């Protein structure tokens, strides 16, 4: 029996090239960053690290400044996983 597995290349986004911060009342803030991501053809997973700890995942927007409309975001996930002793124990147990 043959099994097909879809693999996607993983691309890591670079550090912020430019950042802007707007702070509102009640502890809410808006962060705008520009990061360089080198995309090849075909499906890819893009890893963006060092984002705000309390990010509103549904507020994330991804666009190309050099070629608007040249790609489509099919799915985006936010995985909040700071390293601490409890997180390490949970990862090792299960």
Question: What is the rounded distance in angstroms from the CA atom of residue 55 to the CA atom of residue 30?
Answer: 10
Question: What is the rounded distance in angstroms from the CA atom of residue 85 to the CA atom of residue 66?
Answer: 42
Distances (CA, A) of 92 to 14, 80, 81: 30, 17, 14
Which phi and psi (to 5°) does residue 32 adopt? Answer: -120, 125
- pLDDT for 8 equals 58
Question: What is the rounded distance in angstroms from the CA atom of residue 44 to the CA atom of residue 85?
Answer: 32
- pLDDT for 24 equals 92
* Secondary structure (DSSP) of 31-48: EEEEE-----SS-EEEE-
- pLDDT for 65 equals 87
pLDDT band at 1 (very low <50, low <70, confident <90, very high): very low
pTM: 0.62
The pLDDT tens digits of the residues spanning 33-58 come to 999 888 888 888 888 888 877 788 88
């Amino acid at each position: 029996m043959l099994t097909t597995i879809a693999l996607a290349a993983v691309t890591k986004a670079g550090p912020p090239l430019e950042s802007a911060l707007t702070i509102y009342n009640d502890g809410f803030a808006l962060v705008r960053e520009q990061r360089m991501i080198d995309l090849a053809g075909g499906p890819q997973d893009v890893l963006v690290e060092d984002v705000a700890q309390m990010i509103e995942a549904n507020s994330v927007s991804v666009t190309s400044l050099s070629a608007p409309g040249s790609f489509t975001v099919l799915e985006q996930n936010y995985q909040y996983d700071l390293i601490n002793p409890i997180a390490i124990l949970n990862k090792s147990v299960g």
